[in-house]
């Protein structure tokens, strides 16, 4: 692929992506979702977050103590904090402080 074709392809893909995303923003007031779909969409952010975080917790990292992986322990603490507080900031802070604290204590 020569250089003009490459730049044309990149520009066309960028415009298509922008048009698709803008269409939902511009048509949001005229778009009426069925109630079941609207309720179902509330589960998308937690599902995406779980799909990103859980593989990172499950793969071996070398940050372990005996049979336990410190990331998994910190993830469990963050899960309990998320369940009890429903706060993203508190969940993130508890998980990171736990991971850093355990790493510092056990190294």
The per-residue pLDDT for range 16-58, each reduced to its tens digit, is 999 998 988 888 788 888 999 989 989 998 899 889 888 877 7
Rg (CA), the chain: 21
Q: CB pairs under 8 A, 24+ apart, for 55-61? A: none
3 pLDDT band, cuts 50/70/90, is confident
CA–CA distance, 96 with 89 (Å, rounded to integer) = 11
Cβ–Cβ under 8 Å, residues 71 and 56 = yes
Beta bridge pairs of residue 68: 65
Q: What is the pTM of this model?
A: 0.56
Comparing CA positions, the residue from 61, 67, 73, 60 lying closest to residue 101 is: 73
The per-residue pLDDT for range 50-75, each reduced to its tens digit, is 898 888 777 766 555 556 678 888 98
Comparing CA positions, the residue from 69, 91, 93 lying closest to residue 79 is: 91
85 pLDDT band, cuts 50/70/90, is very high
Q: Backbone phi, then psi, for 98, in 5-degree steps?
A: -65, -45
């Amino acid at each position: 692929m020569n250089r003009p074709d490459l730049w044309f392809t990149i520009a066309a893909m960028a415009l298509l992506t922008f048009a698709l995303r803008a269409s939902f923003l511009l048509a949001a007031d005229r778009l009426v979702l069925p109630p079941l779909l609207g309720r179902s969409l509330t589960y998308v952010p937690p599902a995406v977050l779980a799909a990103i975080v859980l593989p990172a917790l499950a793969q071996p990292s070398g940050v372990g103590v005996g049979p336990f992986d410190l990331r998994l322990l910190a993830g469990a603490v963050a899960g309990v904090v998320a369940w009890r507080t429903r706060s993203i900031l508190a969940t993130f802070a508890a998980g990171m402080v736990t991971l850093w604290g355990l790493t510092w204590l056990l190294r």
